[in-house]
Every structure is written in C-alpha cells, then in structure tokens.
C-alpha cells in the first residue's frame, strides 16, 4: 500500500525546561521563540504540511494558562488543523499519558509523537512510507550531528535499531534520535504489565524502545533535514542563528 498518511500527532510539551532557568520559570520551553516564532509553531507547521489533521499537546497543569493564551493568539495560523491541549494532573513521562489516556484518541492507526522543544525538519511522508516498508512497531527519525557524544546514539543494523548508547565517549556513529517518532498503537501490548500495575510514569525511551529493539521491531528513518536542540541557552542561541540559514 502506497501513500500512507498519518492523521494524528502528539506534541510533548510538559517538561520544566530546567536547563533554561530562569527563562523557563516564566515561559514554557515550547513557547520560546526562534526568529520571533514559538518553537511549537514550527512543529505544527511541519505536521500540517504533511497531512496531519489533528494534534494533541500535552502540558503541565501549571502551564495550561500560558498554552491557552498561545493557542488563542495563533489558532488562526493553523487553519484547518484541530488542536487540543491536554493538561497532565501529575507527571507521566514521555509515554504515560498516551498509554493511560490518549490511546483511545489515537485509536488503531499509527501516529506521530514528538518532543515539543526541538526544531526539526523531517519529511514525514517519506518517514511514514519507510515505517510501512520496514514493518516495525515504531520508527525513530534519526539525525546526523557533529557532536553525538552529547546525546543518545542509535546503533543500527540495516533499517533496524538494535541498541542505544547514552552520551558515549567514542560514538561509533553520528546518528542520534531527533525526538520524533512514528508509533503503531500495538506497542501498548508491550506495556501491559506496567499499565495493569498502575504505573503512570512511563518513558518511551526506557520502557518501550529497548524492548522493541530487542525484538527487531524498532526502525530508524535517517532524516537529512535541519535539526536544533534548544535545551540550554547556548543551543537555543545556536538555533536562533542557524535555523533561517
């Protein structure tokens, strides 16, 4: 089947952004601007350009007012795209809210999941086609960076990810996770034990991906687009200077 189109996406915007204190004590990190536009706007624009129709944004309860103000200001820019803010009553990690709440919204179709604090330029249509071809349960958009020792490095065998190295001293490759994933909802079966035990705080990077990698069900899509991590003041400044070039 050709021309697969992913209709739903989730943006994780619930982090505290501690490495950007004191700036993020006042403004949630996804709402910080690059070239006068909030980081989250770029992500939504990328999803809209590739046919996504609905976007859910998970936020901290304390940040809901800030994001509500942001949505009122910019919602006309997202014409035709359904956007809904979801406030977490308690921290649930990068995958807990989906596993316990949003899985009913995504239903039985694959969906995109992305961190809300990075600038990224990924061909989502090509990524979806790659995901379908490899037939894994999840695909990570990988990007090549000059400083992989500062991130989690992806170790691949062909199209499959077989291991992760967290900030290795001598990285065997320059490819890291971009923080953007395409997920098949069947992955929830791999979390059944934790869900039934009532574990609400779940991390996709630790609780799911290693299991999928061990079963050769985790794929890598190597993206050639731009990518900037805005995680600290130096990287945010680099993004501001480099994104428009």
* Catalytic-residue membership of 200: no
The secondary structure of 152-213 as a DSSP string is EEEEEETTEEEEEEES-SS-S-SEEEEEEEEE-GGGGGGGHHHHHTT-----IIIIIHHHHH
Place of tokens 């600290």: 232
Catalytic residue among 37, 61, 133, 167: 167
**Long-range contacts from 152-158, C-beta under 8 angstroms, 24+ separation:** 152/176, 152/177, 152/205, 154/220, 156/220
> Read out DSSP for 67-83?
HHHHHHHHGGGGTT-EE
Q: Which residues are catalytic?
A: 167
């Amino acid at each position: 089947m050709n021309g697969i189109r992913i209709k739903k996406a989730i943006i994780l915007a619930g982090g505290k952004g501690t490495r950007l204190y004191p700036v993020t004590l006042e403004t949630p990190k996804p709402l910080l601007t690059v070239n006068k536009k909030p980081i989250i706007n770029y992500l939504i624009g990328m999803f809209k350009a590739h046919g996504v129709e609905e976007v859910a944004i998970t936020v901290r309860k304390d940040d809901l007012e800030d994001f509500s103000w942001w949505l009122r200001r910019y919602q006309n820019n997202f014409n035709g795209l359904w956007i809904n803010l979801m406030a977490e009553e308690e921290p649930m990690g990068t995958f807990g809210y989906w596993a316990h709440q949003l899985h009913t919204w995504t239903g039985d179709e694959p969906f995109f999941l992305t961190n809300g604090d990075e600038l990224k330029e990924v061909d989502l249509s090509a990524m979806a086609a790659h995901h379908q071809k490899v037939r894994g349960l999840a695909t990570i958009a990988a990007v090549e960076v000059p400083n992989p020792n500062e991130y989690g490095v992806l170790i691949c065998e062909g199209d499959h990810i077989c291991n992760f190295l967290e900030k290795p001293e001598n990285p065997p490759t320059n490819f890291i996770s971009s923080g953007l994933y395409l997920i098949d909802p069947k992955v929830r079966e791999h979390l059944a034990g934790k869900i039934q035990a009532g574990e609400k705080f779940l991390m996709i990077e630790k609780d799911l991906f290693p299991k999928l990698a061990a079963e050769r069900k985790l794929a890598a899509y190597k993206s050639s687009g731009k990518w900037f991590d805005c995680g600290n003041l130096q990287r945010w400044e680099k993004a501001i200077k480099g994104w428009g070039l």
